[in-house]
Structure formats: C-alpha cells, structure tokens
Structure 1
C-alpha cells in the first residue's frame, strides 16, 4: 500500500504524527528505500479571504523552498501545487493520489470551521476513490476531544481549562524523541513560481533545523526571564516563535519536550518564567479549542451574543489614524507603527492598541482583527480572534467590559523610560522621559507641532463606552 502525506499547517518533520505514521507504514509495506510522496497546496483565494499578510506568505514560501530539500534528504518528495481555494482541494488531492498511486493519505487535523469542512470533503472524495485516509492530532498538545468539563462540555474560562490541559499533559508523560528510519534520499520536486503579494520576511529564519535551533536557544538562554520581561517591549525578549507555531514549522510538542527537561515534575515544577511561557502555549490551545466547539466564531460573530448589538462607531478617518499610528497617544502609535513597518507587534502592545480602538474610539473590534491579520507575520485566526474578543469584552473569558486600559498609565508601566516609543515614534526622540508618555505640553512649549494631539479624552471616552455597553447588556 503506497502512503502519502498531506501537509497543511504542519510544515515540519519533527514531532509530526502524520509523517511518523506514513514512514512507518511505508517501510512495512514497501521497504525502507521507497520514497514517500507528499503534497502541499497553495490556495491564494482562500488566503485572501482569510486576510493573509504578504509577509506571512513570504515566510511560508521561503520555508517551502528550504523544507522541500529537507524532506528530499529524508526520502519524502514534497510536491507544491496551486489551487485557488478550498472548494478545489478535494479534486486536487484526489488527482495527486491517483498520479502517485497512493492508497493511504496521512494528515493532521485543523480545527477552524472552513478547514474542518475542507477536510471532510477531502475524506469523502478519497473514500469514493477507495483511498484510505487517516487524520492525527499533530497541531496541539491536547486535541479538543481530550479535554472536557465534568458535565462533558467544553471550558469557557481559561483558568480551569489550563488546569485540565496541564493534567492531560502530565498524563501523556512521554517526551521521548521519535527516531525514524527514513527512506533513502530522493530528488526534490521543482517548486513552482507563485504570483502572490509578498513582503520581505528575511529577518525571520526558515528551514526546520534553523527554527529548532531558535527554540533551543530561547529555552536555554531566555525563558527563565520571560515572566519578568515579557511586558517590556523595549527589551524585545519574547521568543518570537509565534510565526512558526502558526505555519506549523514548529510543534508545541517539541517546545513542551524542551521545557520538560527543566523539571522532572513537568508540567509542574518549572521556574516562574518557564511556567508563564507554558501558559502562553495553553492560551494558544484554548483558542483553538473554542474554534472547534463554537463555529459562530468563524462567522464573524461574538462569543457573547448580546454584544453583537453594540452600536460601534463607523468613523473611517478615526480608524485610519489608528492604523497609521497617529492617535496622539505615543504607546498606541508606537505599537501600530511597529506592526505596519515590521509585520510584528509585541504582545502587550497588541492588547493596548486593541483596547484603545474598541474602548476609547468605540470602533468595531472586527476592523482591528482584520487589520492585524493583514499585517502580522504570525497572524493566527484563532489566537487573533480570541485576543480581539478578549480586549473588546465580547468573548469567552474576556476582560470585563468595565475594565478599560488607560493608555497613558499602560505606557508608563510597560515602557517606563520611553525607549520603545522613541524607536518607533521618531518625532518624539528628543522628548524627555518625564513627558514622553503625554508629550503635548512639552511639544507646545518647545515649538514642535508635527505630532498630533490626542484623538480623544480618555476619561470621557471611557465613560461613553461603559454607559453604552452596560445599556446593551441590560437590554438583551
């Protein structure tokens, strides 16, 4: 029986159960030297509908160029083909299996609504062609089916989810590296040229071995300081591994294994920094589980249904000023300029700028959600949606609606000496630290007029948001 691998959001060989199963079964059926065909489909129309950032596309295509060679060295012939959207995927996969003489296809499950529908259509098409299909849970440490409440439901609050998630990890209790007897090296199929919007991502490494090395360095050198430094954007001391989770170049299982070497009681007994970093992996999986359990999240709907009645403002000019980093609040502007220029934003800043858009400007969180996806190199629909709904107080386990970030206080807390602000808001480079978080008085006194005044008075905006939100909640 000829085996094949269908790669999607799992472009790696390490800790990839679909790869492991295909290699093992191929060797059993045909011997060690038989190469294994594999497929990855580029779907430009679908990426456009999902608001993929050009820098994310560039990172993926750069990685594919390296990864196909890494696959070939291990006897896996990775074919990359273009199909416009998910509607054409079943026919494309069936055609590939027919061309390659495949009898069994291995893949890893994906959980958002559109991906799940696509996979069901592929399974149905291949069953018609008498091709066996086997799916695995290779994208998460705990698949959605593995964690449930005592009543059999899903967790809607993160804290109890995190406890149950860690219990599941503890019970798994197997962090051994899987050793493969790879097939003999083969020739890498040619990588087609793609006419897609791209933006230079060369500041980010690609290739599985380079990504693994980046993980090892972070856990070895920096994870212990994560709790102390994670909210300070000027230090830039977070892992910057998020694009590799999103595109599947790195497995959360690999990261957990690295952390398990720090504590014999793993996932307990870690240092504070490592423990908080592990919690970030739990947040990632929490949002993936929600996508699986609550299809309406994939339809632009809020988790808290009554919040869909909130009368968001529709001022496009205000939204443009937020997008361009011209709000008059330095920490907000710094975060937005980093996003636009770098295709990345420090996580704490993501919360600050999101809170400002929704609760100071009272603009629809969906606008911000889409803008983030259009620019972020690590744009993940579940995590991005979850983060925006958290900030907007519309999601599960969201920040209470009456908690509104004060952008100036947040600025003083996360960037006390203004280093991050001065890096990205260059017109404030000469402003003394005493004034950097609210520079208008100093700018006026010293004749500077190229930085805008604050768009809104935070106190008044906060009151307007709270009154409106409370009314909507009471009327539901």
Structure 2
C-alpha cells in the first residue's frame, strides 16, 4: 500500500496528523500542489509565496531524512486539482490520501470535489485536524450556534483545553527507503512571481527549525513581558510567529503547549505575559472557527449584514495616499512603509491604520483587506478578515462603531519618543518627541511632509453618523 500526505498550509513534520497517519503503515510519499493562478486570485503576496517556496525547499530536505520523497505538481487553479490529484494517485499507485482540513470556502470546495472523484476510483481521502487548537464546530453556544463574541468563546475553549488538551504529535520515525523514488527539485521561483529581497529572506528564514527556534526564544526571553511590551512597535515585544503559523511551520498546539509549559500547566492563572499571549492564540482560533461556521466571510461579506448599507466613500485619491504612506499622519505613514518594505506590520499598528482607513477616510474595509493580503508575508484569510472587520465595526465582536482610534493619541501612547516613526520616516527624524506625532504646518513644509488629507475630528463624526444611521 502506498499512502500520500498532501501538504498544504502545514509545512512541518512535528504535530502533523496527516503525515503521521500516512506513515503509520506502508510506504508514504508527500505532495505539494503549487496553484499560482489561485494564489493570485486570493491576492497572496510575493513575500508569502516566496516564504512558502523556501519552506518547501526546507521541507523536502527534512522529508528526505525520513525517506519520504516530496513531489511537486503545478496546477494553476484549485478547480483543476481533483483531476490532477487523481492522475497523480494512479501514476504512483496511491491507495489513501491524507490531508489536514482547511476552512475557507474555496479550500473546502476543492477538497469535497477531490474526495468525491477519488472515491469514484476506489481511493480513500482522509481529512485530519491539524490547523487549530480545537476542531471548528466543536465549540458552540448552548443554542448550538457558533460564538460571535470572543470572551465566552475563549472561556469555552479554555475549559475544553483544560480537561482534554491536545498533545502535539512528535515527528514520525523514518520509513524504509523506497527504491526508484527521488524528490523533485523544489522550484525557487515561478513565472510571474518574484523573490523577496535578501533582507526579507534573512529576516524570515523559512523552515520548521527556524519556527521552533523563534518560539523557544520568545518563550524563554520575551513572553514574561509580553503584556507590557506587545503594543510598542519600536521594540521586539511580540512573538513574530505569524508567518510560521500561516504556513504551518509551527502549529497552534505547539505554541499553546509551549506556553503551558512555562505557565506550569495553568490556563487561567499564572504569569500575565503568558496568559495574554495565550489569549491572542485564542483570538486566532476565534477567527478560524468563524471562517468555518460562516462561509460568507470567504466571499467578501461582513459578519454583520446590516453594515452592507454603510455608504463607503469613493475616494481613490485618499486610498492611494493611504497605500503610498502619504496621509500626513506620521504613525499611519510609518506603519504603511513598514508593511510595503518588509511584508509585515506590528499588530497594534494594523488596528490603527485599518481604523484610519475605514473610519477617518470612510473607505470600504475590503479594499484595505486586499491591500494587506497583497503585501503581507503572514497573510491568512481568517486572521486578516477578522482583524479588518473588527476595525471596521462590521464583524463578530468588533469595535463599536463609535469607537474610533485617534492615530495621534495612539502614536503618543505607543511610540512616545517617536523611535518607530523616526525609523520609517527619517525625513521627520529631526523633530522633537512631541512634534513628531503631528508636525506643525511650518515643519511639514520645510521637511516636504504632506498635510493631513482629512481632519481627524470631523472625519470621526462623519463615520459615527454613517454607522448610526444603520440603526
């Protein structure tokens, strides 16, 4: 019997249920399907694709040590995957296909079609749970519906994880070396896609080893101060694990149990830094479960349908100013430069720039969500959509519509000495710690820095009126 492990967003050996099942008995081979046109339709960034391709190179080396060949198929669209997968299985005498479940609408359609076609030809396809702490659909309210409020969802998750925690699986043992099989060379580039810069590649090494090392360093050195430091973008106070979670180089369960180990097994009490980070893991879980429970989220629809009636502004010049870091608000412009130049943005600033776009500029959140996906190395539909809908007040348990961040106040609070702004807007580096957050007209002119494109006070009122009319 030859079994297949179909890798997707789970490019690791440890805590990889599909790989473990495929290697449990009989010979196993591995497969990854490159779908460049599908990735382009999903607005996946060049940085994200480059990260995946580098991760695949590392994975092929790791699998070779287990005597598991990694094969690569180029199938442009997911609608073409079922037939290509069937052809591959026939070519390699595959009797079973193992994969870890994914929760987006297109992913589920792809898998349902693959399951049906393979079954028609006597090939069994088995889905496993490997992408979240708990199986989506297993955490529901008393009315048997998906939680739409985070706090009770997190409480229910903690209770389940306390009484029946999922222990991460170890990496499988090597299998007997197969004769006649060699791993295909993993391409380092694709037509139409360009590699990330050397600086980005060195900043984000793409391997399971790098992910686990980053997790270890964070929990050893920074997690105790996480609650205090996480909101300050000029210091390395976060885990910076999001690209690794998005590509599956590390699992949510591995992160959760690493935190548990440092918190003596407690999920409700203990070190505040650890508990705060565990809470952030549950926010990620929340958005993954919502994506599974509400397919409309994969189709550009708001969680709160009444917000479809918001009269978003058609303001292409303002949107371009936001994209090009020319809003005249230093913290917003600095954050946008960080995104475009590095493929990553600090989480506090993601909220600041998203709320500025959706509230102060009153521009449709879907434009911002897409721009982020086009640039983020950690772009993940559930988290990106959840974050944008939270800021836009259109999602589950989102910020109340009348809560509008003042980006100047956020800047003064979380970048008090202007260190982050000075790094990304060096043209403002000579300004005082006070003025750098909102330069005077004289300084703006002298430094060739633009005026604010909207008045923060009046634009805030405009947003509140636009949302309050929905009621």
Q: TM-score, normalised by structure 1?
A: 0.95
Query: 2:164 corresponds to which residue?
Result: 172
Shift of 1:173: 3.1
**Cα displacement string for residues 5-42 of structure 1 (whole angstroms, at most 9, x for unaligned residues):** 0111111111011111111132xxxxxxx4x2111100
| 1:264-296 Cα shifts (integer Å, max 9, x gaps) | 333233311111111111111111111111111
Displacement of 1:392 in angstroms is: 0.5
Q: State the alpha-carbon separation in 1 of the partners of residues 212 and 262 from structure 2.
A: 17
Corresponding residue pairs, total: 463
Matches within 5 A, 1:107-186: 107-175=99-167, 178=170, 180-184=172-176
> Do the aligned residues in 2 keep the contact of 1:73 with 1:185 (CA within 8 Å)?
no
8 Å CA contact 2:325–2:333 kept in 1: the answer is yes
CA contact (8 A) 1:175 1:260 kept: no
1:431 shift after superposition: 0.4
8 A Cα contact 2:14 2:172, kept in partner = no
Q: 1:3 offset after TM fit, Å?
A: 1.2
Of 176-185 and 245-254, more deviation after overlay is shown by 176-185
Partner of 1:197: 193
For 1:103, what is the secondary structure of its paired residue?
A: strand
Aligned counterparts, 1:24-423, within 5 A = 24-26=24-26, 34=27, 36-175=28-167, 178=170, 180-184=172-176, 187-192=182-187, 194-198=190-194, 199-200=196-197, 201-202=200-201, 203-423=203-423
Q: Is the 8 A contact 1:435 1:442 kept in 2?
A: no
Q: Kindly indicate whether the alpha-carbon contact (under 8 Å) linking 1:440 and 1:453 is maintained by their aligned counterparts in 2.
A: no
After TM superposition, give the deviation of residue 261 of structure 1 in Å. Answer: 1.1
The answer for unaligned runs of 5 or more in structure 1 is 27-33
Contact 1:72 1:185 in 2 (8 A): no
1:37–1:100: 8 Å Cα contact kept in structure 2?
no
The partner residue of 1:456 within 454, 457, 460 is: 454
Partner residue of 1:30? none
Q: Which consecutive unaligned segments of at least 5 residues does structure 2 have?
A: none
- The answer to whether the Cα contact below 8 Å between 2:133 and 2:166 also exists between their aligned partners in 1 is no
Measured on the aligned residues, the alpha-carbon RMSD in Å equals: 1.4
Structure 1 residues 215-251: Cα deviation after superposition (integer angstroms, max 9, x where no partner):
1111111111111000000003211110011111111
Q: Secondary structure at the match of 1:448?
A: helix
1:31 aligns with none
2:232–2:414 CA contact under 8 A, matched in 1: yes
Alpha-carbon distance in structure 2 between the residues aligned to 1:325 and 1:180: 47
Indicate conservation of the 8 Å contact 1:156/1:397, yes or no: yes
